[in-house]
């Protein structure tokens, strides 16, 4: 499965998500605004919930950065 992202936050979101690989968020990014998930075939619902939680934090971080940049301009 893949998640296509808007060009306004896509590249930064991909960058932040890649930084989370060492703590277990395994994502491939074949394009700057595309995240492709790479779970094992035997992934559990609990692991999926963990990934969604981690990805939600990444998305919120990028949204917060974008909002801060907008108010600073």
Q: What is the pLDDT of residue 3?
A: 58
pLDDT in tens, 26-58: 777 777 777 777 777 788 899 889 888 988 888
User: Among candidates 67, 66, 51, 64, which has minimal Cα distance to 17?
Assistant: 51
Q: What is the pLDDT of residue 2?
A: 52
How far apart, in whole angstroms, are the C-alpha atoms of residue 3 and residue 30? 11
Higher pLDDT, 9 or 28: 28
pLDDT in tens, 15-29: 887 777 777 777 777
**What is the pTM (predicted TM-score) of this model?**
0.69
């Amino acid at each position: 499965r893949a998640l296509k992202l808007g060009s306004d936050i896509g590249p930064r979101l991909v960058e932040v998500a890649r930084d989370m690989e060492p703590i277990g968020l395994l994502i491939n990014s074949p394009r700057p605004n595309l995240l492709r998930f790479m779970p094992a075939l035997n992934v559990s619902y609990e692991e999926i919930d963990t990934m969604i939680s981690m990805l939600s934090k990444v998305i919120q971080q990028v949204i917060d950065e974008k909002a801060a940049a907008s108010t600073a301009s």
